[in-house]
Chain A
Amino acid sequence: MNAVELNKVSKSYRKDFWAKKISAVSDLSFTVKRERVTGFVGPNGAGKTTTIKMIMGLVFPESGSIKIYNRDYGFPSSRKGVAYLSEQPYFYGHLTVVESLRFISELIGLNRSVISKEIERVLAVVELSGKAGSRIKELSKGMQQRLNMAQVLLGDPHMLILDEPMSGMDPPGRRLFRKLFSELAAKGKTIFFSSHVLEDIEAVCDDVVVLSKGKLAFSGEIESILEKGFLGTEMIVSLLTPDDLLFLRGLDCEVTELDKGTFSLFVPRGGNPGQVQNLLFSKGIEVLSIVRRTLPLEELLYRNDGDQEENKAEIRRQEISGRGAECKP
């Protein structure tokens, strides 16, 4: 059984009563597998937030079906054990941090006897224990985002649906969230999160769903897509003799001197990096690092898209982090 299943879902909007309808999502079908981390990618206006809102029952599709653990999304019980994090944190301004968490705990049906302990736990996880009695409007934006995440963690949900969870986060916040995602993934939680920061997707996701102009562009395992863009293996070594260099070049290995005494050995796709590694080992040459070089995820995700250049430009504009064209291990 899949965690989420969308089948030919369409939704269009009208800006005002007389305006023409604009399609937000069209004929969209994909699945989110249980106990996996799935990234939901696409440029602004691709329909990510609309899709997530439909899954959460905030917006109604015009056609198609949405199932959460095989139950129609229209049943509130389908959202039991499912937590949602909106792109912007929305809180009741009249409540304090603890009151807000208590309110959500009661709504999700937590037993009154465990609520206080659960609140303490989630506040510790998001490192907000010292702010328990503060008014929400007194918190910084980053802290509000953490509180938003604390609400999501209440009751230990089995699925988390997160809309741009790291949007507007400061670097320590991003690090905290990434660590948290890894821990939740290790616990077997199903995580479905949208982001336009591909570095985040690549770092934590098992699967990826790509949306472009309201239509599905790609859906599958991130490994399979990265494998398609595999360029070769790069090893950084030190202290190579001229004889070693000659031998390595004979193995179709591209050797580049990076610095005095430091070399990059690049074994292209189809080559035998194991053989090169064995040779280096037998000669006692120190290998400083080994990295798998792939095409940037950005290029892989949008290479089959008709509007590739436009989308890539949009993605570049949106990327907050300064990720260059360097390949990731």
Chain B
Amino acid sequence: MNSILIISANTFKETIRNKVLYNILLVAGVALFLSMAFGDLSVFSRAQVMADFGLATMSLTGLLLAVFIGVGMLGREISSKTVYSVLTRPVTRESFILGKFFGLFATLMMNFALISVVFFIFISLLGTSVKPSLSWAVVLTAAEMAVMISAAIFFSSFTTPTLAAIFSISFYVAGHLNNMIGIGAEQQNSVIWRTILKLLYFAFPNLDHFNIRARVVYELSIPEGYIAGALLYGLLYTTLLLSLSILFFSRKDL
């Protein structure tokens, strides 16, 4: 447990000293600022546009962070062999993977906290109060990103950083198209295509479970137990992907 914390702290330090993080934060700042401007051009209220833009920005920056820092993080450790200085100590490979995950997740949380503060200040400036559903939307986006970080670590545990980045982005896209894949499978006449689509449907998580943006923007109610169910779903997928990462990484020659 202690080694997980030590590796997490080092990973956190590494990512907050990474210039990519600041570029991502800059993108987030620009997007939030633009949302103020676009608010006047939309048929919706400025607060609605702001909420939509803000949540989309968090999702995008989280994805960029998970893919570009997450994938490079493990791949670079292996290719630059810095992993030697850790794994030749009394440290398990499980601790290493978990340390990397928690370190990057902590960076993501810090990133989200910063964007949220700016986001909520902007919303308050528009004279609208920050509703609990907006906070829950941020929490669910964070849960989605936990799944994405574990997916990035999973892919980089057995392939090159470039391929892992491509796989991670494909995973994100497939995760958001999961409902459509399921519907497509039901509508297929060909048995082969139906089987392939069903396999894809079950293999990828449904990342839309973490997206309650439309409900927040249109001020629709959130079904009771939905948040807890989505968080549990995210936890299970994260655990599964991290377990698979550990399985692959534990057998890898370094």
Q: A residues within 8 Å of B by Cβ? A: 53, 56-60, 76-77, 79-80, 84, 86, 88, 90-92, 94-95, 99, 103-104, 106-109, 151
Contact = CB atoms under 8 A, between A and B. Distances in A.
Contact of A59 (B80, B90, B253): B253
Kindly name the residue among A58, A86, A151 whose own CB sees the greatest number of chain B CB atoms within 10 A: A58
A91 B52 CA distance: 43
A58 B84 contact: yes
A99 B17 CA distance: 14
Contacts of B90: 76-77, 79-80, 107-109
Nearest to A103: B10
B254 A79 contact: no
30 contacts: A53-B253, A56-B84, A57-B88, A59-B254, A76-B89, A76-B90, A76-B91, A77-B90, A79-B88, A86-B81, A86-B84, A88-B81, A90-B80, A90-B81, A90-B82, A90-B85, A91-B82, A91-B85, A92-B10, A92-B14, A94-B13, A94-B17, A95-B13, A103-B6, A104-B85, A106-B6, A107-B86, A108-B90, A109-B2, A151-B85
A244 B153 CA distance: 81
A108 B86 CA distance: 9
B20 interface: no
A156 to B, nearest CB: 15
Interface in B5-47: 6-7, 10, 13-14, 17-18
Contacts of A108: 89-90
Contacts of B239: none
B84 A84 contact: yes
A56 B88 contact: yes
Given A56-B88, A58-B84, A151-B85, A107 B3 contact: yes
A58 B82 contact: no
Nearest to A151: B85
A107 B84 contact: no
Contacts of A104: 85, 89
